Amino acid sequence: MKTILVVDDDETFVAVLSNQLRALGFGVIENTSGTDVLRQIDVHGPVACFIDVVMEAKDGLETMTEIVMRDTRPKLIAVSSNTMYLEWAEGLGVDAVLGKPVFPQQLRELLTRLDICP
């Protein structure tokens, strides 16, 4: 089973996105801040990470920058309700951006485009 990491400080969003991903057949790891994300990637080896751009404890842009700099990394999907933040994330070299709210069909299409659907 392929695993996806969901990182967002909005616990309701994490729960909704996680449920949508599980319904598509993925295993899901959750985190409510950018803290500890690199360790989770190393331990669990997710195929993709959905990361909120703006978070309280550790900013999503900082977290994504750290991940993009790695030699090998999962697909990175920046998530935000603010299009300006998504543009910033695109500038970092993420694989995709996704506006909130996220709808199941939109999620399936994105995962198919990134070639990570189970």
* pLDDT tens readout for residues 72-84: 999 999 999 999 9
Domain annotation for the chain: domains and CATH numbers: 3-113 (3.40.50.2300)
Q: Please, which pLDDT band fits residue 89 given cuts at 50, 70 and 90?
A: very high
57 sits in which H/E element: none
Q: How confident is the model at residue 59, as a pLDDT?
A: 85
Q: Does residue 118 carry a pLDDT above 80?
A: no
CB contact at 8 A, 65 and 86: no
Encoded tokens for 80: 């935000």
Contact 47, 4 (CB under 8 A): yes
Given the structure tokens 């990394």, which residue do they identify? 73
pLDDT at position 35: 87
SS3 content of the chain, % helix, strand, coil (to 5): 40, 20, 35
C-alpha to C-alpha distance for 118 and 99, rounded to whole angstroms: 22
**pTM of the predicted protein model:** 0.95
In this predicted structure, the answer to whether residue 108 has a pLDDT above a threshold of 90 is: yes
How far apart (Å, rounded) are the C-alpha atoms in residues 91 and 71? 18
For 15-73, the pLDDT digits (tens) are: 999 999 999 999 999 999 888 999 999 999 999 999 999 988 788 999 999 999 999 99
Which pLDDT score is estimated for 67? 95
